[in-house]
């Protein structure tokens, strides 16, 4: 709220931090692109094309084998074999 430059510099710092993992890094890079519109930043970051790409979604359908609370989820796969979600 009114601190766009401060939030931009914080997001840029987080985007280059090696301890930040993939999902959070991707969100920070998107935030940097959103906040760094001209005239605040004229130079486009090097990861701009990577962030703007279209992400392919994968949907997995299956029948749950067990519905117990606290139990590991087990499903029937495409070939009828038992499989997990990992």
Q: Kindly state whether residue 23 falls inside one of the protein's structural domains.
A: yes
Task: Answer yes or no: is pLDDT of 15 > 80.
Answer: yes
* Within-domain flag for 70: no
Residue 58 placed within a domain: no
Instruction: Judge whether 44 lies within some domain.
Output: yes
pLDDT confidence tier of residue 75, bands split at 50, 70 and 90: confident
For residue 18, being part of any structural domain is answered with yes
Helix (H, G, I), strand (E, B) or coil at 5: helix
Domain that holds residue 11: 4-52
Note the pLDDT of residue 5: 83
Residue 9 lies in a domain: yes
pTM over 0.75: no
In a domain, 75, yes or no: no
Query: pLDDT at residue 78 above 80?
Result: no
List Cβ neighbours of 75 (8 Å cut-off, separation of 6 or more). 62, 63, 64, 65, 82, 83, 84, 85
Q: 64: which DSSP letter?
A: B
């Amino acid at each position: 709220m009114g601190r766009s430059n401060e939030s931009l510099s914080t997001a840029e710092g987080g985007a280059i931090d090696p301890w930040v993992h993939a999902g959070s890094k991707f969100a920070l890079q998107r935030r940097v692109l959103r906040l760094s519109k001209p005239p605040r930043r004229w130079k486009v970051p090097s990861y701009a094309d990577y962030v703007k790409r279209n992400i392919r979604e994968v949907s997995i359908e299956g029948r749950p084998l067990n519905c117990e609370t606290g139990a590991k989820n087990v499903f029937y796969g495409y070939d009828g074999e038992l499989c997990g979600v990992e």
